[in-house]
């Protein structure tokens, strides 16, 4: 899709493990370029595997223009065995759906992408690699030694990646970002030959030497698949003495600002305000400022870690009848 002003946006999201039906993928439509009024698509049934949950959905447009892919975390916390079990003995698969029109979704398919040494596969995303003409798919996993099949030894989340051309067959996974401490929720945006990677530092607040724990750091590389990105900034969303920030942040979404002036970053303040918008004039900016004011992006509260897809006028028109009329 060309880099012009979208006619609207589609937001894929879930609503949280505190609700029995909260770990399903739902869709909300903004039928204007301002990104300020949203309606849930009641005409699209929530997506989840039978008896399971779907979290952290990510939407991507097919590079050949033939349709859309949606990938998500294969996880249900509500009514389950808790987070520790999910970290060490969770699903090693992605959930995958496909659609030609954003209305009807084929799936889910579980695609196993990690070996038995992995404990989980969380928050998958994908980006088209134009140099290699394939998608790079990436996610966070814990991994354990082969001598520890019960996964009882200490581990931490790190980012792995694989390549695919059809979201059915994937290459063998390989490490992509391993800092030696837990990181999750990477997202990537390409601009002017650079790939900018935004990732959450998952260390606990108060960890020695980790003043930016639970916030987002930014890196960049000319080579999307490289394990070596150069640092840009860290502590995004944390705020300063002069400007208050978030309590914590995850699930970053990055896209051109709707008004064409710079870039918009949405950070999920989980167990807080939900998605909060920030802006910067360039992707390599050392500072992202809250996008406050009447012209700022407004995401309805309660919508958790998701993704935004810019839409054409025809795509907006095709989805409009699936959303309830505005009051």
Q: What was the pLDDT predicted at 254?
A: 97
pLDDT at 293: 58
pTM: 0.96
Q: Is the dihedral of CA 220, 221, 227, 228 positive or negative?
A: negative
Residue 99 CA to residue 34 CA, distance in Å, equals 26
Going along the chain from its start, the domains and CATH numbers come out as 8-320 (2.120.10.10)
Lowest mean pLDDT segment, chosen from 32-36, 46-50, 60-64, 71-75: 32-36
Range in 36-40, 46-50, 174-178 the model is least confident about? 36-40
Per-residue pLDDT tens over the stretch 110-159: 999 999 999 999 999 999 999 999 999 999 999 999 999 999 999 999 99
Q: What is the mean pLDDT of residues 202-211?
A: 95
242-297 confidence digits (pLDDT tens): 777 899 999 999 999 988 889 999 999 988 889 999 999 999 999 999 886 555 68
Percentage of the chain surpassing pLDDT 70? 97
Res 76 pLDDT > 70:
yes
State what percent of residues in the chain have pLDDT above 90.
85
How far is residue 16 from each of residues 23, 132, 302, 304, measured CA to CA in Å?
6, 36, 8, 7
| Number of Cα atoms under 13 Å in the Cβ half of residue 27 | 26
């Amino acid at each position: 899709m060309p880099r012009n002003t979208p006619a609207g946006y589609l937001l894929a999201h879930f609503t949280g493990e505190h609700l029995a039906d909260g770990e399903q993928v739902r869709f909300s439509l903004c039928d204007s370029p301002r990104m300020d009024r949203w309606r849930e698509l009641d005409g699209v049934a929530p997506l989840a595997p039978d008896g399971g949950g779907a979290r952290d959905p990510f939407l991507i447009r097919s590079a050949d223009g033939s349709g859309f892919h949606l990938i998500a975390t294969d996880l249900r916390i509500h009514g389950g065995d808790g987070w520790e079990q999910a970290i060490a003995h969770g699903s090693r698969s992605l959930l995958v759906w496909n659609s030609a029109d954003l209305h009807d979704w084929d799936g889910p398919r579980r695609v196993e992408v990690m070996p038995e040494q992995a404990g989980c596969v969380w928050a998958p995303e994908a980006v088209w690699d134009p140099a290699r003409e394939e998608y790079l798919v990436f996610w966070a996993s814990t991994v354990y030694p082969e001598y520890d099949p019960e996964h009882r030894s200490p581990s931490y989340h790190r980012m792995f990646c694989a390549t695919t051309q059809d979201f059915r067959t994937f290459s063998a996974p390989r490490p992509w970002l391993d800092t030696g401490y837990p990181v999750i929720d990477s997202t990537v945006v390409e601009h002017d030959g650079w790939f900018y990677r935004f990732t959450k530092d998952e260390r606990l607040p108060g960890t020695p030497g980790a003043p930016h724990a639970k916030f987002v750091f930014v890196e960049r590389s000319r080579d999307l698949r490289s394990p070596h990105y150069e640092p840009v900034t860290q502590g995004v969303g944390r705020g300063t003495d002069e400007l208050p920030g978030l309590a914590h942040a995850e699930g970053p979404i990055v896209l051109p600002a709707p008004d064409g002036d710079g870039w918009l970053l949405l950070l999920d303040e989980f167990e807080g305000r939900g998605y909060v918008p920030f802006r910067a004039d360039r992707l390599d900016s050392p500072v992202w400022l809250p996008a406050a004011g009447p012209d700022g992006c407004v995401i309805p509260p309660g919508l958790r870690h998701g993704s935004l897809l810019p839409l054409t006028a025809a795509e907006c028109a095709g989805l409009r009848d699936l959303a309830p009329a505005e009051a």
